[in-house]
Amino acid sequence: MNRYTLFSSIDEPFAAGFFEEEGRSLFFRHSLALRRFYENRPLNRYDSNRRLYPSGVENISKYAIKPQYARTFSVDYDTLQSKSPEAAKTMEGIDGDRRGAGYRDCGFYVMHNYTHSIPHYERILAEGLDAYQARVERMRDADLREGLLHLLAGFRNYHSRCVQYLKRESADQTLIAALERVPFQPAQNIYQAILGWNFILYLDGADNYGWLDNGLCPYHNGEDVTNELRELFENGNDNAAWSAAIGPFYNDLTGQCLVAIQGRRRPMLALRLTEHMPDDIWELAFAALRTGCSNPSFYNEDMIARMLKQCFPGVRGEDRIRFCGAGCTETNLAGLSNIGSIDADINLALIFERYMHENLALCESFTEFYQGLCKTVADCVDAMLAAVFKSNERMAQNSPHPIRTLFTDDCIDKELDFNNGGARINAEMTAECGLINAIDSLLAIRKLVFETKQYTAPDFLRLLTSEDPLFYLQLKNCPRYGVDDRAADELAHRFSDMFYSCFAGKKAFRGGPVIPTSHQFNRYIAAGAKVGPTPDGRRKGDPLCDSIAPLGGKSTNGPTAAMVSASKIAQ
């Protein structure tokens, strides 16, 4: 039995399509795999109470192998093994290179190669996917052209089946008529635009919404579409979609988005603030927050604009204005960019712990200890970035991404895959874990070993390692970040500035800058499990700091003091 027949026989259309023409390029094979998947994927149930379709959780749970927006596809090996041990063994054999560019624990850093993205919703709605097909047909590269045509054929089949299903279900005629048009033909009104946005969200795998109020505004003529926006958000929440952005060009849809988000955890709705934001938008934002949903988040538009210009000096202002958070709100220029959302995490607490045990007793002054730590951190950053660049090169070779190639400017025009530099704007992004742990640990060592000389270096390390209770009381009384302590915050600024400066001038594999960030989602728990006791008062295996927040229990002077300290980090 050949591999195409094997995967067809166990109802795994993505894998069957991948093996259908094994002599072609990986891009072509991934595209054909996507076509077969969309030709066969079950349709979501129609809910007569909903104005949008599809709606609800994606109906693809029966498949072991399916599209995945960050890594082209995912494999559930337990499910695949239960279907066919031979199929599981086959996928293990061909999947090594692709997974080699994914998650790997490399000690003081962890490789993720996880990239959030945003389709160019506005362009798709304005031109329609039929116009995209015409652009694809003019491509010279046969494998990319034929691959994208397969992808579009798969989308068209899925779209047609959706329309026919709605007709059989005697669905609302307005819904049927609108879906017969979008997203293959240009949207003509606000309902079609929201319906098309929703359909693209499902095609893309429910990653991010992009710049919602701005993108929908050209179709809006004063209608109240709060219910449709609420459904759009609900569909994203059902499928774990991440982020959306509204503002800074405030309009009626900005307010309707704020009403629609009330009580909802997802998407994370980023409200881009300017000094000119109207009072009614402020009131609606706080009304949403009072529902307990933590939405919206507030983004300082002027500061973001300055930092984007610094990071991307050659990028046009009309492109930079398309800033949207993606995933945990990582930097993204909606529809234009490939910015590795988390290429890797570097564990500063682990680096600090190892350096401290190897060098504290050898240093005669805090300055000597601090400068040695800075050199060690810089060397570790260089090692991590070398691995990131190599991993992204491997991803370009082994993990083409046809959907993002279709949906992101300028991949079609350049005739380059999304993961191989096709996007108009490229960058890579890394995160740190443990920055505040390292800062508070430095403060404790400076006071107890070098200023008051209360402990010798060997005694300090011995008591720390044994987690001596009385010693931990001494650590608790050391200067700390997060309480608006001037000396502590000065060290926090100096150390963070040193760390972030390690990335300056580095060029990513696909071109563009490397952007360091401080956000962990929930990764600070696993990162802390690898780190022994640290002088900030952590015990072995405890979680690290959550981004740049003060350590748990240390923010004793109130939220304003904590925010003042956070403002001193060299962001």
Calpha distance 285→246 (Å, rounded): 11
Calpha distance 531→549 (Å, rounded): 19
Helix, strand, coil tally for the chain in percent (to 5): 55, 10, 35
Is the pLDDT reported for residue 478 higher than 80?
Answer: yes
Residue 203 CB-half CA count within 13 A? 32
Is the pLDDT reported for residue 220 higher than 90?
Answer: yes
Token pair 């027949």 is found at 5
DSSP for 239-305, written as a single string: TT--EEEE-SS--HHHHHHHHHTTT---SEEEEEE-TT--HHHHHHHHHHHTTTS--PEEEEHHHHH
Task: Record the tokens describing residue 300, joined without a space.
Answer: 């300082």
Beta pairing class for 514-517 and 425-433: parallel
What pLDDT, on a 0 to 100 scale, did the predictor assign at position 451? 98
Is the pLDDT reported for residue 97 higher than 70?
Answer: no
What pLDDT, on a 0 to 100 scale, did the predictor assign at position 102? 61
For the stretch 57-77, pLDDT in tens is: 999 999 999 999 998 899 999
Phi-psi region of 345 (alpha: psi -120 to 50; beta: other; left: phi over 0): beta
CA distances for 363 relative to 350, 358, 366, 373, angstroms:
19, 10, 7, 11
Is the pLDDT reported for residue 257 higher than 80?
Answer: yes
What pLDDT, on a 0 to 100 scale, did the predictor assign at position 492? 98
For the stretch 359-394, pLDDT in tens is: 999 999 999 999 999 999 999 999 999 999 999 999
Helix 226-238 and helix 252-260, axial crossing angle in degrees, nearest 10: 50
Residue 453 CB-half CA count within 13 A? 2
Is the pLDDT reported for residue 39 higher than 60?
Answer: yes
Is the pLDDT reported for residue 313 higher than 70?
Answer: yes
Is the pLDDT reported for residue 99 higher than 60?
Answer: no
Give the three-class secondary structure for 155: helix
Q: How far apart are the first and last CA of the chain?
A: 57
Summary mean pLDDT of the chain: 95
Is the pLDDT reported for residue 93 higher than 90?
Answer: no
What's the gap between Cα 399 and its chain centre?
Answer: 18
Calpha distance 11→337 (Å, rounded): 35
Token pair 């893309």 is found at 204
What pLDDT, on a 0 to 100 scale, did the predictor assign at position 448? 98
pLDDT band at 106 (very low <50, low <70, confident <90, very high): confident
For the stretch 530-548, pLDDT in tens is: 999 999 999 999 999 999 9
Nearest partner of 193 among 220, 170, 211, judged by Cα: 220
Calpha distance 529→289 (Å, rounded): 33
Kindly list the strands in the beta sheet with 210-211, ordered across the sheet, starting from the edge strand earlier in the chain.
210-211, 243-246, 268-273, 297-300
For the stretch 130-182, pLDDT in tens is: 999 999 999 999 999 999 999 999 999 999 999 999 999 999 999 999 999 99
Is the pLDDT reported for residue 341 higher than 90?
Answer: no
What pLDDT, on a 0 to 100 scale, did the predictor assign at position 535? 98
Q: Let me know: does 253 contact 213? Beta carbons within 8 Å.
A: yes
Task: Record the tokens describing residue 172, joined without a space.
Answer: 């609302």
Average pLDDT over residues 491-518: 95
What pLDDT, on a 0 to 100 scale, did the predictor assign at position 522? 86
Calpha distance 22→45 (Å, rounded): 35
Is the pLDDT reported for residue 564 higher than 70?
Answer: yes
For the stretch 296-305, pLDDT in tens is: 999 999 999 9
Is the pLDDT reported for residue 221 higher than 60?
Answer: yes
pLDDT band at 183 (very low <50, low <70, confident <90, very high): very high
What pLDDT, on a 0 to 100 scale, did the predictor assign at position 333? 97
Calpha distance 183→152 (Å, rounded): 12
What pLDDT, on a 0 to 100 scale, did the predictor assign at position 192? 98
What pLDDT, on a 0 to 100 scale, did the predictor assign at position 101? 55
